[in-house]
Every structure is written in C-alpha cells, then in structure tokens.
Amino acid sequence: MRFDIVALFPLAASAVNIISSNDDGWAEANIRAFFESLQAADHSVVVSAPAENQSGKGSKEGEPTVLTEPCQFNSCPSGSPAVGFNSSEPRLGYVNSYPVTAIQYGIETSGPKIFNGAPDLAVTGPNVGSNIDIVNYFSGTVGAATYAAQNGIPALAFSSASGSPTSWESPRPAYSEVYADLATNLTNQVIAAGKPYLPDDIFLNVNFGKVTDECASPADFSFVLSRIHVAVPLITDDDVTTCGDSRLPSELEVSLASGCYASVSVGIASEKKDADAEMQGVVLKKLGNLLTCLS
C-alpha cells in the first residue's frame, strides 16, 4: 500500500539531508517504510540503525562488534563486519551496537560520506510500540533522538501503538505505511517552517495511536501538542497556552482519548523531560494548523 503523500502535505518543504535510526533494527518494516516515504518527499536519507533489535537500551553506547550470528531477519550473514550496508542500496546501513552508537556513526561517518556534509535533521522510528511518559528514559528510539539533539542535529522521535517486529521482506503491514506517511508529514512541516528547525537541546517525542478500521489512513489522524510527563498539580509550571488552556494534555491522556490522535511533546534532550512554555511555544508556532485540540 502506498498513500498519496503529496496530497497530505499543505506546506512545501525544501529537500534536506536526514539521518534515520531506531531501536528495533535496520531490517524492521517501519524504518524501511519511513525511509521510502522521506525519499518520495525528495529528501536525502541515510539509515544508520542497529543490526539487531536493541529495544529498551536507552542511551547506552558501545563499540560495534563483528556479527557472530546473522543480522536481524537474516539481513546479513554471520561474520559480517561490525558496520555495513545494503549492497544494492548503500543508504541503508547497520551498526552492530546500541541505537545511540548507530546514530552517532550515521551523523559522523556514513551520513557525511553520502551527503558531502553534516545531516540537517535526525529522525528515529517509527518505534514498534509507544514511548510514553517514563518509558522514554529506557527507549533506544528516544535515546538516539536525544543524542542527535544534544549534538546539534534537530531530532524527532516517532513511536506507534500498532504492530509487532516485522521483516522488511514480509508483506508490509498497512500500519507501517500509515505511520511512515504521518511521520513524513510532521517532518515536512518542521522543515517548511524554516531554520532553526528546533531550538538547541530540544527534540520532539511523537506517539501515533493505533491503526484501526476507524483510523485507517493518515488523513484520519490529528496531531495534538502534548507533554511527556503527567503534570503535578501546584508543582508543575504552566505549559504554553493553547486550546484555551495553560496545561497541555499528557501523552498518556492523548493515547487514551477516543479518536485518531498523534501526540507531539516538546522535550529537553539532555534530560528527557518536558521543555518549558517558551520552547513549547516555539514548536506550537512552527507546527501551526497541523495541530488540533484534544476533544
């Protein structure tokens, strides 16, 4: 399945150089669908993701090692080098280590070789499974995005409620295409709003709701500005005022709401915590009419 992404994008985004990673592995269906969707939107994309599923590894780092077993889904043979790529598509690369190490290699080595310069933006996911509230501290998908943001590369982490780990060779699930196009839509909106794409040390944590019969296409989903952690009454500072309220809904609240929603939280990369109202306001302005209120 392939949706008409041109019809979904209200703003024209300039083509940029994008590093893509995840924690589910370089051969997982979601990252491959996102790669193709970003390329269809005329961006230059390089994947640098773990050779194996590295979910739950957070911000761990480690020296890449030679493969003692085949890569995920037999995507490379046992004995393959610690770092490699698809022979027919060198933009698809693996690193046999943690997600943070994988994206670091993409930012510093594999990306610049293809881009002839530094990447403009980093994206991770769409993760198989949501990354909400405290789970963000343990997510490798979030860990890779926050690493990029801390090192001067604006970053967006995408996670999704539907699906299970699926090989790139299997028939591609419909949810992979829906999430890929939604992620491309938001990425394009950030790019079209102009540089700097995001403030320093800021990343976006995005969680897509389930793909169902009622939420079956990208056009069915609405983006809602949210906060990562549930606010503590009388303690947590006010959020940016929008939708007539100075308190944003939490990612958890959005995920439990009736409807087809994707939460977009503004996080401090170095702390994996919610950004303040000023930084939320910057993102609110950039995303503009892409956002809606939670009903």
Q: Where are the domains of the chain?
A: 16-290
CATH number of 16-290: 3.40.1210.10
Closest by Cα among 202, 207, 201 to 186: 207
At residue 197, the 3 state secondary structure works out as: coil
Amino acid 12: pLDDT: 52
**Which pair of structure tokens corresponds to residue 169?**
């060779």
Given a cut of 80, is residue 3 above it in pLDDT? no
C-alpha–C-alpha distance, residues 244 and 32, integer Å: 39
**Which pair of structure tokens corresponds to residue 289?**
């009419």
User: At residue 206, what are phi and psi to the nearest 5 degrees?
Assistant: -115, 130
In tens, the pLDDT along 37-93 reads 999 999 999 999 999 999 999 999 999 999 999 999 999 999 999 999 999 999 999
At residue 170, the 3 state secondary structure works out as: coil
15/81: higher pLDDT = 81
Amino acid 14: pLDDT: 83
Return the amino acid letter for 107: I
Cβ neighbours, 10 Å, residue 109: 13
Q: 21 forms bridges with which residues in the sheet?
A: 124
Buried b (16+ CB within 10 A) or exposed e, 210-231: ebeeebebbebbbbbbbbbbeb
Tokens 């939280």 correspond to: 265
At residue 112, the 3 state secondary structure works out as: helix
Return the amino acid letter for 122: A
Rounded to 5°, the CA angle 238-240-242 comes to 120
- DSSP codes of every residue in 203-237: EEEEEE----SSS-SGGG-EEEEEBSSPPPTTTSP
In tens, the pLDDT along 189-231 reads 999 999 999 999 999 999 999 999 999 999 999 999 999 999 9
C-alpha–C-alpha distance, residues 167 and 216, integer Å: 21
Burial of 82 (0-12, 13-18, 19+ CB in 10 A): middle
Cβ neighbours, 10 Å, residue 79: 10
